[in-house]
Amino acid sequence: MDERVPTTIGELGEFALIERLTARLPQGPAVRLGPGDDAAVIAAPDGRVVATSDLLVEGRHFRRDWSGPYEIGRKAAAQNLADVAAMGARPTALLLGLAAPPETEVAWVLRLADGLREECAPAGASVAGGDVVRAPQITLAVTALGDLAGGPPLTRAGARPGDVVAVRGRLGFAAAGLRLLAEGRDGPAELLDAHRRPRPPYEAGPQARELGATALVDVSDGLVQDLGHIAVASGTRIELDGDALPVPPVLGPAGLHHVLTGGDDHAFAGTFPPDVRLPGTWTVIGRVAEAAPGTGDVVVDGRPYTAGGWDHFRS
Amino acid sequence: MDERVPTTIGELGEFALIERLTARLPQGPAVRLGPGDDAAVIAAPDGRVVATSDLLVEGRHFRRDWSGPYEIGRKAAAQNLADVAAMGARPTALLLGLAAPPETEVAWVLRLADGLREECAPAGASVAGGDVVRAPQITLAVTALGDLAGGPPLTRAGARPGDVVAVRGRLGFAAAGLRLLAEGRDGPAELLDAHRRPRPPYEAGPQARELGATALVDVSDGLVQDLGHIAVASGTRIELDGDALPVPPVLGPAGLHHVLTGGDDHAFAGTFPPDVRLPGTWTVIGRVAEAAPGTGDVVVDGRPYTAGGWDHFRS
């Protein structure tokens, strides 16, 4: 008889692992039925549900030598919760799919769950279900759900010429931190930390809806690229003022580049009617113009910014 | 200039791939906003949404030499749609996360989408969103949503002593087909096909709810194991009649074993009040009794059936 306490998920087994996980994942008020059945049941008081799903693959979206499980959990939750908020909705629940090798430590998985839980809680959501399977490599599949509270979804297609463009949240911090890690250099803790754990201001989503936003995205692939999605979907051009962009000195000499192209901070960028009165948490960075073929979908001080974005297969 | 038509997803690129995929995925009436934005918006007229998520990993949940992409797509959709139906709900939408190596053929991915679409359509659902990322191995993350139409969710915890136990759908077919494939043997097409593509009778979920079912599961891990979840959650024992189990000759000499332990057919097994009048599509296979510690959660002709179930990490 082996009396050791199981330290790997292979030793612990699927069902015991799920028990240990669910014990760490208290259910919020929106969860009508939590983990342990064929499916979860989540409140959708609006009569519609916002739903989004992302995959995070080890070595591509996170590295275990650069980030601990807690931070990976927070980051995985954050990018999905931010997608829900970017529709103008409030997050209600998350589902976690975890594929992992049997030799993965139980403690690593439990800390991952802690990270998911603690990113969800302030956003108003909880981890209500999921799946664990065996695989040679760690992959996380996160689904987030949310509620629109009676409002219209903030799509990418609603921007109109004359609208102002504004952002709320940090830009470029995660990219600057990632570059430090990639180059093996030390640097400001707030940059390294921003890569490991984004801090999306989720409240910006419902707030933008209340302020009458015409379009909204979260900045996951880079400001120029994500605003480009609004420009294309809306049939408009977006003109950014270089001087209006928030480029704090901590971002270093490539600060402007990080602000324009850096993903993963999950700031919110939206378009608002010209007469909007924005609170101080939002920074106006440009305006929406008529599309002008051949000039680019997004211009900075009148010129296209073509430093490239992020293509998950090509880059 | 390379004028070839891209044949791999790496050549095609993420955004073009998503365009090709969404062109093949028409949206059903429950989809308020389909692919192409930060998140999808799905109707949830009940005010609650049923949500479930599964991961399928190449080499573990499917093999590309045993199943084509179309069948893998149908199977991936089926196992999630069946989880929704097992709550007594009607499926409304699916989200697909696809992790794949860049050398994966575009045609393979498009056929996968065809399989997902065609499994969804008769169940009333459509593929409303998702994510594609690069990874060394193909992994599918499927999330399914559904609507309860005002009824109570059929959990595992509602079975009461005196209830009858009944099943609808095939049992043991997929397991018998899997064994043929694993042994490299030929055999009845309906067994091989059952492994490649389950045929869950989704209608059984809402039907069971209307018939007053007290508990319901879909048989994904094996009849004994899945009914064991009902027994444990309900604090009861489930007594099966060996003679009442549907064991068609095509299942071969190990037929009873496949029926009791074979997963992946996604039949529906439920418990109903003693006075229920079940339509002919359901087969009564036993009854619910008081829990009797030490005798097992599920017994067949009075004895535990301990041929083992399925643990995703251990087996």
Sort out which chain B residues have CB atoms less than 8 A from A89's CB and list them: 39
The CA angle B85-B86-B92, to the nearest 5 degrees, is: 25
- Sorting pLDDT into bands at 50, 70 and 90, what band is A2? low
pLDDT at B315: 40
pLDDT at B66: 85
Distance to chain B for A243, nearest Cα, Å: 28
Residue B49, CA distances (Å) to A92, B91, B149, B204 in order: 11, 10, 10, 19
Contact A254, A177 (CB under 8 A): no
Express each pLDDT in A178-223 by its tens digit.
999 889 888 899 999 898 889 999 999 999 999 999 999 999 999 9
What's the rounded Cα separation, in Å, for the pair A292 and A227?
16
Q: What percent of chain A has pLDDT over 90?
A: 84
In chain A, where the domains are located: 9-147, 164-304
Q: What is the ipTM of this complex?
A: 0.92
Sort out which chain A residues have CB atoms less than 8 A from B312's CB and list them: 14, 132-134
Inter-chain CB proximity A132 and B42 less than 8 Å: no
Residue B233, CA distances (Å) to A61, A278, A301, B165, B238 in order: 38, 52, 63, 15, 12
Give the chain B residue nearest A53 (alpha carbons): B130
Domains B9-147 and B164-304 share a fold: no
pLDDT at B274: 97
Inter-chain CB proximity B48 and A37 less than 8 Å: no
In one letter, which amino acid is A50?
V
Express each pLDDT in A13-35 by its tens digit.
988 999 999 999 999 999 999 99
Kindly state the average pLDDT of the residues B139-151: 97
- Name the residue facing A32 among B13, B36, B48 (closest C-beta): B48
Beta bridge partners of B95: B129, B143
Sort out which chain B residues have CB atoms less than 8 A from A12's CB and list them: 313
Inter-chain CB proximity A129 and B312 less than 8 Å: no
CATH 3.30.1330.10 holds for B9-147: yes
* DSSP three-state, residue B279: coil
Backbone angles phi, psi at A273, to 5 degrees: -55, 150
3-state secondary structure chain A: CCCCCCCEHHHHCHHHHHHHHHHCCCCCCCEEECCCCCCEEEECCCCEEEEEEEEEEECCCECCCCCCHHHHHHHHHHHHHHHHHCCCCEEEEEEEEEEECCCCEHHHHHHHHHHHHHHHHHHCCEEEEEEEEECCCCEEEEEEEEECCCCCCCCCCCCCCCCEEEEECCCCHHHHHHHHHHCCCCCCHHHHHHHHCCCCCCCHHHHHHHCCCCEEEECCCCHHHHHHHHHHHHCEEEEECHHHCCCCHHHCCCHHHHHHHCCCCCCEEEEECCCCCCCCCCEEEEEEEECCCCCCCEEECCEECCCCCCCCCCC
Mutation target to probe the A interface, by most A beta carbons within 10 A, among B49, B84, B230, B314 is B49
Fold type of domain A164-304: Phosphoribosyl-aminoimidazole Synthetase; Chain A, domain 2 (3.90.650)
Contact B34, B27 (CB under 8 A): yes
pLDDT at A124: 94
pLDDT at A177: 92
Inter-chain CB proximity B141 and A141 less than 8 Å: yes
Q: Is the pLDDT of residue A166 over 70?
A: yes
